[in-house]
Structure 1
Amino acid sequence: MSEVALYSIAQTLLSQGKLLEAKIACLKALNLQPKSATACKLMADIMLAKNQIAAAKYWYDRSLKLDASLAPSHANLGSLYAREKQWELAISCYQNAIDIDPNFAGFYRTLAKVWQQVGRQDLMIECWQRAISLEPEKTAAADYLNLADNLLELERKEEAISYYRLAIKLDTSLSKAYQKLGKMLVETGELEEAIAIFSEGISVNPKDYLSYQKLGDIWQKKGRLDEAAICYQKAIAIDPKLFWSYHSLGNILNRQGRWKEAVEIHRQEIALKSDFYRSHYLLGNA
C-alpha cells in the first residue's frame, strides 16, 4: 500500500476517533516516506488527540523542519505553548502561521486570546477585528460583547457601542449587552434610545434589576418621578439588597411629600448601608 493511501486511512481513522489504528497507519506511511511533512503533522494531530503533549510538540516541530510553510503546524504548536503559558513562544508560532496564511480567521481568533492573556488589549482587538472581517458568520454574540468591553476599557466608545449592537442582534437574550449599551447611550446623551434599549432588555429578561435601576435613573433625570419610582420598586422587588435603588426611591418620595413611605424606604436603605450620611439626612427630612 502506498504512503498516500496509508496517510488517507490514518486521516479517516483519526476523524473516527480510532487513535491507535490511526497511529499505526500513520507510522506505516512514515516508514515508507520518513520525510513527509504532512504525515509528521498528522502524527502530531494524533498525539494531540491522545493528549500526549510532548509527543505532539515533537511531531509538529519535525513537520516544520521538513516544511516550514505548514501554517496549521505553526498554529497548533502555538496552542500547545499557550496551554503551558509560554506566551512569547505561542505568539511567535501564531504570527508565523498568519504570515503564511493571512486570510485564515482562526489564527487571528486564537492569537487574540493570547494577547488578552498578556494584557495587550490593543493587539487583541486588532486580531478580533481582522477575524470578524474574514469570517463574520463565525463570530458569536459573546465574542462581540467581549470585544465591546475591551474597546470600552480603551475609551473607544463609538466602536464599543457598535459591537454591543451586534451582540444584541445575534442574541436578543444577552442581558449584559442591553445593560452596557444602555449605559453607554446615557453617557453620550442619547436618553430616548437608552430608554428603548433598557426596556427591550427588561422585556427579554423581566428579572433584569440593573436595567430597571438604570431606567429609573433616566426617568428621574427627565423629571418623570412616578415612572422612576415604579422602576426602582421593581428593581428592589427582584433584588432587595439594591442600596442605590432604595436611596433613589426614598429621595423621590421625599420630593413628592410622601413622608410615611419615604421613612420606611430610608430605614431599609440604612439597614443596608448604615454609614452613608446622606441616607440619615434624608430620613431626618422625611
Structure 2
Amino acid sequence: EGGAKALCDVLRRLGDGYRHLQQYRGKEAIAAFEKLSASEGNTAWVQVQTGTAYFNMAQYQMAEQSFQKARKLEPSRVVGMELYSTVLWFLKKEHELCYLAQELVALDKTAPQTWCVLGNCFSVQREFETAIKFFQRAIQVCPSFTYAYTLAGHEHVSNEDFEKATASFRSSLRTDERHYNAWYGLAIIYLKQEKYQLAEYHLRRALAINPRNSVLYCYLGIVLLSAGSCFEALQVLQDAIDLDPANPLAKLRKAMALSHLDRNLEALEELEQLQQLAPRESMVYMQMGKILKKLGRLQEALACFNHAIDLDPKGGNAVKAQIDRLQMQDVEEDDSFL
C-alpha cells in the first residue's frame, strides 16, 4: 500500500508539471518537476519537459542545459530534439547543432524530428533553400508534425517569400491551432508588410496562448511603436523586460520609444543598462549617439558613433551619415522602429 501511494504521488507531480506545460505556465511546470526527488527527476522525459518550458519562455540558455541533461541520460532519444535544435539555433551554436544532426541521422532517418534538426543545421548556416527541403521532408514523413510547418514558414520569411510562408504557418495552425509560434510567424509577415493591425491581432492571439514569452511582448511593442501607439508600446515593452530583464531587444526598443517621446534622459539610462548586457552591440552605441545629439552633448555623441563603427565596420555607412549630420540640429532623425 505504501509503495502504491508513493507511486501515485510521483505520477501526480509529473501530471501537474505536464498540465502546466500544456497551458504554457512554464514557471509552474518547472516548479512541479523540481518537487520530484533527484532519482525521479533525473530522467530524460522530465528534462525534455523542463527544457520545453524554458524554451516556451524564450530562456534559451536554461533550456539548453535541460536538453543537454536529457541527451546524457538517454543518448538515443529523438523526441524533443527538434526544440533542442532550435535552442542551439538561437544561441548560434553551429558546431553543436551539426553534431546533433549527425547523431539523429544515425539514430532514426524516419523521424520527423531528425529532418527538422537537419533543417535547422542548414538554416543556421543561412542555406535557406536546403533547410526548407529538409523541413518539407519532415512533413512528408509525418504530415501531422506541426513544428515542421512552422520552421518551413520561418525559412520562407527569411527568403522574403511571404506567400509560401503564410501557407506554411496556416498549415501549422490547421494541425494545432494553439501553436503560438505559427501565430507569431504570421505576425512577423504582417509587420514586414507594415500591416500593423493584422500584426497586432496575430501577436495577441499568440500571447493569449503563451503569455509568459518576453519575445512575443517585445514584438507586440515594436508593432505598437510602428503604428504610433508609443504609450501603450512602452507598457508592453516593460512587460517584456519584467518577464526577462536580460532581453536586449526589449530594452533597445523601449529606449527608442522614450526618445521618440522626448524622454531622452530616461532613454539614455535604459541604453546605459543595456550597454552592460550587450557591450559589443553596435546598435546600442548608435542609439546612444542619437540621443546624446538630441541632448546637445555632441562630443559624447561622436564618441558613441565612432565606437559603433569600430564594433560593426560593415554597417559604418549609416553611422557615418549620423556623424555627417552631427552639427545639423534641425535635421529630423529616422525614428523607424523596424
Question: TM-score, normalising length from structure 1?
Answer: 0.53
- Matched residue SS, 2:280: helix
Q: Please state how far the C-alpha of 1:169 moved relative to its aligned partner.
A: 4.9
Is 1:67 the counterpart of 2:67 in the alignment?
no
Gapped regions of structure 2 (runs ≥ 5): 1-142, 311-319, 328-338
Alpha-carbon distance between aligned partners in 1 of 2:309 and 2:158, rounded to the nearest angstrom: 32
Task: Choose which of 143, 156, 178 in structure 1 pairs with 2:287.
Answer: 143
Indicate conservation of the 8 Å contact 1:3/1:32, yes or no.
yes
Indicate conservation of the 8 Å contact 1:103/1:134, yes or no.
yes
1:192-271 aligned within 5 A? none
**Partner of 1:112 in structure 2?**
255
1:40-55 aligned within 5 A? 40-55=183-198
Q: Please state how far the C-alpha of 1:176 moved relative to its aligned partner.
A: 7.4
Alpha-carbon distance between aligned partners in 1 of 2:292 and 2:205, rounded to the nearest angstrom: 40
Task: Choose which of 134, 147, 172 in structure 2 pairs with 1:4.
Answer: 147
**Partner of 1:240 in structure 2?**
none
Task: Choose which of 201, 216, 225 in structure 2 pairs with 1:82.
Answer: 225
Task: Choose which of 102, 116, 128 in structure 1 pairs with 2:245.
Answer: 102
**Partner of 1:121 in structure 2?**
264
Structure number with larger C-alpha Rg: 1
Residues 69 and 168 of structure 1: CA distance in aligned 2, closer, same or farther (over 3 Å): same
Indicate conservation of the 8 Å contact 1:43/1:59, yes or no.
yes
Alpha-carbon distance between aligned partners in 2 of 1:144 and 1:57, rounded to the nearest angstrom: 28
Q: Please state how far the C-alpha of 1:126 moved relative to its aligned partner.
A: 1.2
Q: Tell me how many residue pairs correspond in the alignment.
A: 173
Task: Choose which of 251, 261, 275 in structure 2 pairs with 1:132.
Answer: 275
Question: TM-score, normalising length from structure 2?
Answer: 0.46
**Partner of 2:162 in structure 1?**
19
Indicate conservation of the 8 Å contact 1:19/1:49, yes or no.
no
Alpha-carbon distance between aligned partners in 2 of 1:168 and 1:39, rounded to the nearest angstrom: 40
AA partner of residue 290 (structure 2): N
1:163-191 CA distances to partner (integer Å, 9 max, x unpaired)? Answer: 654444555974777x8xxxxxxxxxxxx
Q: Please state how far the C-alpha of 1:104 moved relative to its aligned partner.
A: 2.2
1:15-55 CA distances to partner (integer Å, 9 max, x unpaired)? Answer: 11111111111111101100111121112112223332221
Indicate conservation of the 8 Å contact 2:282/2:307, yes or no.
no
Indicate conservation of the 8 Å contact 1:125/1:150, yes or no.
no
Alpha-carbon distance between aligned partners in 2 of 1:124 and 1:86, rounded to the nearest angstrom: 17
Q: Please state how far the C-alpha of 1:9 moved relative to its aligned partner.
A: 1.1
Alpha-carbon distance between aligned partners in 2 of 1:84 and 1:21, rounded to the nearest angstrom: 26
Alpha-carbon distance between aligned partners in 2 of 1:94 and 1:13, rounded to the nearest angstrom: 27
Indicate conservation of the 8 Å contact 2:282/2:309, yes or no.
no
Gapped regions of structure 1 (runs ≥ 5): 154-159, 180-286
Alpha-carbon distance between aligned partners in 2 of 1:27 and 1:64, rounded to the nearest angstrom: 17
**Partner of 2:177 in structure 1?**
34
AA partner of residue 76 (structure 1): Y
AA partner of residue 106 (structure 1): L
AA partner of residue 250 (structure 2): F
Indicate conservation of the 8 Å contact 1:105/1:132, yes or no.
no
